[in-house]
Amino acid sequence: MILQKTYRSLLSVRTGIDGLIFRIVLRIYGVHYGTVRTTGLPHLTVRKGAEVRIGDGFRINNRFYGNALSTGRCAIWVGDGARLDIGRNVGISSSYIIAEESVTIGDNVKVGGNCYIMDTDFHSIDPDQRKFPDTDRQNTRTAPVTIRENAFIGASSIILKGVTIGKGAVIGAGSVVTRDVPDGQLWAGNPARFIKNL
């Protein structure tokens, strides 16, 4: 019992230190943020001219935290001149957000462990352009991603470029979302498809 209490106390201290370091890093990058809570530290890159806003009550989990899918560090990458807007009361565990152009996450969104949210293909679809790094990157397709208020993204899901996920929508675990999901619907699968209205 004493060892368990000591362990919990040490975790609490570590979480406090992680939170302080994370807030310092956010300030260095010029991120506008409200209250944030972190377990562990994420990988964070904010490139030149990027704009990042994080609302109050942001929780980001970057280590084992009660389930097998939340074991790693989150990675957030915001490219040159890109925008990342995270609303209030958003929770993310062990996931990846890549904003080459624009990613918007509304209030009260929950993102399960090991998800990918990305607004870019990373590479050209033309094999001749992929031969050379310059033409490969120049011909990459991007399109904004929007996840609206109260949506829930199940563990190990992938949200691809150009997708809007509606208010209160639920994405089943392990889904690959390639097209828009209307408000208040459950979608699942690869590619994700309509399952039912909620």
Q: Which of 123, 130, 141, 167 is catalytic?
A: 123
Reported pTM: 0.88
The residue among 165, 140, 139 whose CA lies nearest residue 154 is 165
What is the pLDDT, as a whole number, of residue 66? 60
What is the pLDDT, as a whole number, of residue 6? 64
**Stretches in the chain below the pLDDT threshold 70:** 1-15, 64-71
Q: Determine the structural domain holding residue 172 and report its residue range.
A: 2-197
What is the pLDDT, as a whole number, of residue 165? 98
Determine the straight-line distance between the first and last CA of the chain, rounded to whole angstroms.
Answer: 44
The rounded distance, in Å, linking the Cα atoms of 79 and 39 is 25
Backbone angles phi, psi at 154, to 5 degrees: -70, 160
Cα 71 from chain centre: 15
Q: How many CB atoms lie within 10 A of CB 138?
A: 10
What is the pLDDT, as a whole number, of residue 19? 82
123 is catalytic: yes
Q: Hey, which residues does 93 pair with through a beta bridge?
A: 61
What is the pLDDT, as a whole number, of residue 139? 77
How many domains does the chain divide into? 1
**What are the CA-CA distances from residue 146 to residues 97, 131, 136 (Å)?**
12, 32, 25
How long a stretch of residues is the chain? 198
pLDDT in tens, 183-196: 999 999 999 999 99
CATH of the domain at 23: 2.160.10.10
What is the pLDDT, as a whole number, of residue 63? 75
Q: How many CB atoms lie within 10 A of CB 113?
A: 21
What is the pLDDT, as a whole number, of residue 129? 84
Backbone angles phi, psi at 89, to 5 degrees: 60, 40
